Every structure is written in C-alpha cells, then in structure tokens.
Amino acid sequence: MSLQRLLRVRAPTRQFLRSSVGPSRLRWSSGVSYPLQLASVTPQHAALYKESLVNPARFWGDLARSKLHWMEDFTQTMDCDMSGDRLKWFLGGKINVSVNLLDRHVETDPTKVALIWERDEPEDHQIITYQELLDETCRLGNLLKRDGVRKGDRVAIYMPVSPVAVAAMLACARIGAVHNVVFAGFSAESLRARIIDGGVSVVMTADEGVRGGRGIPLKSVVDDAVEGVESVRRVFVATRTGSKVNMDPVRDVPLEQAMSSESRVCPPEALDSEDSLFMLYTSGSTGRPKGLVHTQAGYLLYAALTQQYAFDYHPERGDVFACVADIGWITGHSYVVYGPLCNGGTTVLFESVPTYPNPGRYWEMVERLKVTHFYTAPTAIRMLLKFGDSWVSKYDRSSLRTLGCVGEPLNDEAWLWYNNVVGEDRCTVVDTWWQTETGGIMISPRPSPDDSTPKPGLPMTPFFGIEPALVSPETGRVLEGPNVSGHLCIQRPWPGMARTIHGDHDKFINTYYRPYPGLYFSGDGARRDAEGHYQITGRVDDVINVKGHRIGTAELESCVDQNESIAETAVVGYPHDTFGEAIYAFMVPMEGVAVDEEELVADIQASIRKKIGSFAVPQRYLIVPGLPKTRSGKIMRRILKKISADQPEELGDTSTLADPAVVQLILTKHSDKYVS
C-alpha cells in the first residue's frame, strides 16, 4: 500500500502567525508538503511501520513538514550514520520551538487551556491559557535577552513544577538559549556540578518549593550551589511561597517584578534544526552524570508524534493529559511540556506527591480535572495499590481512557491493578520504554500493528521508524528471530535521538555507539517473543533504577568512599516490592579502624543527601571484611547482586576469585542482618 493511501492527504493550509512573531521573520516552506493526518490507532499501523523503515527520509520528512511550523523549509531530511558522529536531521531548516508550542495555537484559539497547574495544596488548581503562556514566555524571553543571554547560552532552571518553570523553558527556546533543568530535589552539590559542567551563566529558581505540604528551601540551595562559581552572574528568583530569602543585591533579581515591565511581544529566533534545545543530566554506569544534548526540530517532532500516537491523544476532543512526572526529568520535558503543547493539548503540571493529603490524591484530581490520559511510574502504582482500592473507587474516573507507565518494568500485579481497579478494565494500559537519550517513547503497546488487546507486559512494539536489535553480549552478534534475549540496541536513526554529551563527545560515542558498532546501545536488556513483541528486562550495566530514577553505582561509591573510615565500597541494586530496585552498600572499613555502624551509616546518609539528594540514599548497608574481586582486581558486582537478592544458590563459580572465602563471610553477615 502506498504512503499516500495510508495517510489521508490534505491540501497544505497556509497559516499566518500572530504579531508577536513578526511576519518578516517568517518564510513558509516553498517545498511541496504533504500534511499528514495519521488516523488514530488502526490496523494500518503495520503497513505504516513498514513504510517508515522502507523509506525513512520520506516518512520523517513528510511528517516534519505537516506537523511542525518551519520558518524555512529544510533541504535534506536526514544525514546520519550509526557511528554516533553524524546525527543530523532536517538540515538547512529554520524553526522556533516556542512558536510551534504557543503562537500557532494562540492563532487558532487563544483561550484554549494550555496548562492546568495542580498545586501542592489539595484541591487547588490554576488554569493557564495558550495566550497567557505565550505572554509569560515572551516577557521572560525579553528579560533574559535584556540580561545579556544570547543564543547558545546555558540557563539552569531549578524550580518547582509550575507555569513559570514551563515559561522559563520556553523563553529559552524562544531566544535560542539552552535550558538545563535540574530536578529540584537534587542537592546543592549536584546542582553546582551541573552548573559548572554546563557552563551556566543564569540560574532561575524560586524562593521555596512545596511538596506534600513541606517547604523546600530552593533559593538557599542555589546560594550554596553557585557560591564562588564565576560563570553565574545572575539568579532570578520566582515567588512560590513568599517566604523570606536572602537576596544578593548584585546577583539576585526577583523574577515577577523584573518580568512585569517587559513586553508581551518577543520575536522568536530562527534557529537551525540542529541547534541545541536543551541539555539534561542523567546517570550512567561510569563517572559523573552526563549532560545529554537534544536539538530543536528532531526532538520536537518525535516528542509530539509519540505523545499523539502512543497514547492516542486527541486535543480536538478536549483530552486532558496528566503526566505526573517532575519537569526535572526527561518524562517531564517530553510529555508534560514539549509533546502535549506541540500538539495543542491541555497538559497538567503536577506539583505534589501521590499520597498528599492522602492516597486518593491522583484520583481526586482525575475526577476534578476530567483527566483523560494519566502517565506515571510503576513505583507509584505499586505504592498506591498497598493502600487498597477504596482510595481509587471513591472518585469518578469515567473520564480516563489511557493509562501510561514509564521508568521501570511494570510487574503483572501492578499492571492488573492499574488496568482493573484504576482503569475499570476499560482503559488502554500503555507501558512505554524509552530513555533520556532517546527523547521519546521507543517501544510501547501503541500504536499497535495488529490492534491486539494489551495484556501484562506485552505486547510491546516499536514506534514508527524504530528498529530494535537484540545483541548477544558474548558474541556481539545481532540475534535474529523469535524467543531471544539480549542487549537492547537500536539499528537505525530516529529524530529524537540525543546528539552528544555536553563537552564530551568521546564519552557519548564510547557509551552508546562503541559497544556494538553500527548500533545504538541502550544499556537495557530485552526479550523478543514468538510474535515479535518486546519485553524489557532491566539494566545490564551498573545503573540502579530506584523508583524510576537512574542512579549510577560509580557516583554513589565515590560518595561513600570519601568517608574517612571506609577503604572501599561496592553498591548494587536489589529487588524491592515498591521501589522496583533499592540500593545496597557493601563497605570495607579502613585497616585497624573500629567503626560504629550506626554512626557510620548516619554519616554516609548525610553525605549522600548533601552530594546527590535524598532519593539516592541506600536502603541497606553491610560492613564487610573485603569485596569479591577477580584476580585482576575487578569487583564482581554480579556476586553481590545475587547475595543482596537472596539468591545464594545462584552465585555460580566463585573459585576463580582472588579470595573466595570472602563470599561466605559476606553471605553470613547478610543473612544475620537481613534474612529473618
């Protein structure tokens, strides 16, 4: 079947944007465009998926022209190889992401609700229209420009989930600055590291955050983070709670006050498709967190398409999309901000926590806001199911149609509760696999090639244009056919792929493209079944996934090792009922040092809170006489993982270790402490 027949083809419509854009800056694409209207989920997706692989340049090119507004048409859809060095999309095109998210929707309906801010305070939401969000974005863009922020400059955003934080992201996009959002739960030292590594000149924050009724002193964290950091010349401080904070008379500026005198019109910068849009730090298996870089057009197209098709999202029907992730993570970037707003939808900004003021919070919100699409992490589902069904059933959830999940494997029990109790067995459960690096959803039950009914864990199918490969770690060969497990790689480029690691392109190549030449390596394992569906089995590297947050063992170990009484540490993840994985620290004390375990653990916890953030504090600790190592000195984490998962029978051959006796000692200590 031809692409034209699969996609309903409309005549191109010419639209002109509002005065804020400045007509002289806009030149509409002179190339032939085929605005595509992909129908919602249909069995035709199998043919469409095939088409996306057979003729990717045409597939993505057509979608980019119909889905996005260009200031100048691109001349080439893609120029990529899978060595990681040439990853370019929509070459020669000029675009402004904020125009795509705001101006064009304001043109059709300025009163349409863009954001619903579900504040921490229970039953208290605020509505922000597309016009209001555009006005705020322009004011902020003008303020940043007046302050000397130029195209390519990095701006750190350390703010609560709030409309002003979204406006800050989009203001950067409007003027071509690169935002670097740091989750407002990270400590001062983590924030400082991200500011220094990113070469940030301006920080945007708030006086305080509030989560679960508790204040979080954001401004004072920023004060500690930027102390002595010369690159930072300005800190803008928004008001969230109105609490008193220290203001440096030269560096710090109250945000709302400064914005109020700025114009609501800010001409959008015409940016190259491949100019950076944002950087976002994520943990890997080695060293410090890395700042992954995403660029303008490809990321935007991919976030918007996946939001529309993986979730079957219809803004024209008034769908309300509630992705409850924090904007400090990629899920918040793609499915709170960029995807839904590019599609002209209504997106919920969830500032609170799932159990505040009680475990019915999400479902009360669903009833009040008439949420149609709900997207969360398995850990939240597992936590809520423990509180019982009545917290869910007392609220009307008839508005819900799609229930999404991301971040870690969704176990059967959680899937069934989500589907049967929350979704009353009439919603579609969409478990989505993707990563900070991929920009958007890669594998999910929708769009489905065969329209089969999703069941726990399966079927997971690749999105348009995505061709997964499972590779044998032993031979490095791609495993063909059904019923195989291996390292999950991606064989061909897609528009949402990260382009580099800020300041360290070699690391980018080494991490993602060198392990299996010609493929993108995800760091996850997966299985393919007889029907070609995928099931994700978890990380295959030294990354622990706690409550859907990625934490590198190397980061944690270096943090624990800094304790004076500790000679050496190994940190591993072990299965946890609610968190998915929890963290276990095995610590070897310095020779001749008598340690008080309680004191030591308290010290270590305090230092992890300070250096990384509370979410990275290990759940279990064991003082051990030594670590299992190979003769060449490499720590055998595999053995520690088996011990911590209470699977001593699966330890395998330990005789090749430098000191096999140490395993028995660790096992005994572990059993005494943690096995009842």
**What is the token pair recorded at 427?**
């919603």
Contact 372, 320 (CB under 8 A): yes
Regarding 408 and contact with ligand WTA (CB under 6 A), the answer is yes
Among 525, 555, 644, residue whose Cα is nearest residue 636 = 644
Residue number with CB closer to ligand WTA (26 or 300):
300
Q: Cα–Cα–Cα angle for 512, 91, 289, nearest 5°?
A: 30
23 class by beta-carbon count within 10 Å (0-12 exposed, 13-18 middle, 19+ buried):
exposed
Stretch that binds ligand WTA, among 38-46, 296-304, 324-332, 342-350 (CB under 6 A): 324-332
- Select the residue interacting with ligand WTA from 226, 297, 536, 636 (CB under 6 A): 536
Instruction: Using the minimum distance from each CB to ligand WTA, give the nearer residue, 21 or 556.
Output: 556
- What is the smallest separation between the CB atom of 434 and ligand WTA, expressed in angstroms? 5
Binding of ligand WTA by 578 (CB under 6 A): no
Do 372 and 116 form a contact (C-beta atoms < 8 A)?
Answer: no
Which of these segments, 55-63, 173-181, 259-267, 434-442, binds ligand WTA (CB under 6 A)?
434-442
Q: Are strands 234-238 and 252-254 parallel, antiparallel or unpaired?
A: parallel
Tell the smallest beta-carbon distance from residue 413 to ligand WTA (Å): 15
Interaction of residue 553 with ligand WTA, rule CB under 6 A: no
Of 292 and 662, the one with the shorter C-beta distance to ligand WTA is 292
* Distances from the Cα of 150 to the Cα of 20, 141, 333, angstroms: 19, 10, 22
Nearest distance from C-beta of residue 536 to ligand WTA, angstroms: 4
Which DSSP string corresponds to 241-260? S-------TTTEEEHHHHHH
Residue 453 DSSP one-character state: P
Of the residues 399, 435, 491, 578, which one makes contact with ligand WTA according to CB under 6 A: 435
Among 194, 240, 294, 539, contact with ligand WTA (rule: CB under 6 A): 539
In the bound complex, which residue of the shown chain has the CB atom lying closest to ligand WTA?
A: 436
Cβ distance to ligand WTA smaller for residue 330 or 469 = 330
CB of 286 to ligand WTA, least distance (A): 15
- Determine if 143 is a binding residue for ligand WTA (CB under 6 A): no
Cα separation, 538 vs 132, whole angstroms: 42
Selected from 208, 524, 557, 581, the binder of ligand WTA by CB under 6 A is 524
Show contacts with ligand WTA in window 292-321 (CB under 6 A): none
Q: Pick from 78, 164, 166, 406 the residue near ligand WTA by CB under 6 A.
A: 406
Whether the CB-CB separation of 206 and 239 falls below 8 Å is answered with yes
Site string for ligand WTA, 330-369 (x = CB under 6 A): xx--------------------------------------
CA distance 476 to 227: 47
How far apart (Å, rounded) are the C-alpha atoms in residues 66 and 157? 32
> Applying CB under 6 A, does 545 fall inside the site for ligand WTA?
yes
Q: Is 557 in the site for ligand WTA (CB under 6 A)?
A: no
When the beta carbons of 282 and 379 are compared against ligand WTA, the nearer one is 282
> DSSP secondary-structure letter at 17?
-
Q: Is 434 in the site for ligand WTA (CB under 6 A)?
A: yes
Restricting to residues 458-497, name those near ligand WTA by CB under 6 A: none
Report helix, strand or coil for 600: helix
Q: Does 201 bind ligand WTA (CB under 6 A)?
A: no
- Count other C-beta atoms under 10 Å from residue 117's C-beta: 19
Residue type, 45: H
The β-bridge relationship of strands 468-471 and 484-490 is antiparallel
Listing DSSP states for 257-276 in one string gives HHHHTS-S--PPP-EETTSE
Token pair recorded at residue 305: 């398409």
Least spacing, CB of residue 489 vs ligand WTA, in Å: 12
Count of residues of this chain found to bind ligand WTA when the rule CB under 6 A is applied: 21
Q: Least Å distance between CB 325 and ligand WTA? A: 8
- For ligand WTA, the binding residues in 267-296 under the rule CB under 6 A are 282
DSSP for 607-671?
A: HHHHHT-GGG--SEEEE-S---B-TTS-B-HHHHHHHHTT-GGG----TTSS-THHHHHHHHHHH
Q: What type of residue is 299?
A: Y
Binding residues vs ligand WTA (CB under 6 A): 282, 329-331, 406-409, 431-436, 522-524, 536, 539, 545, 550
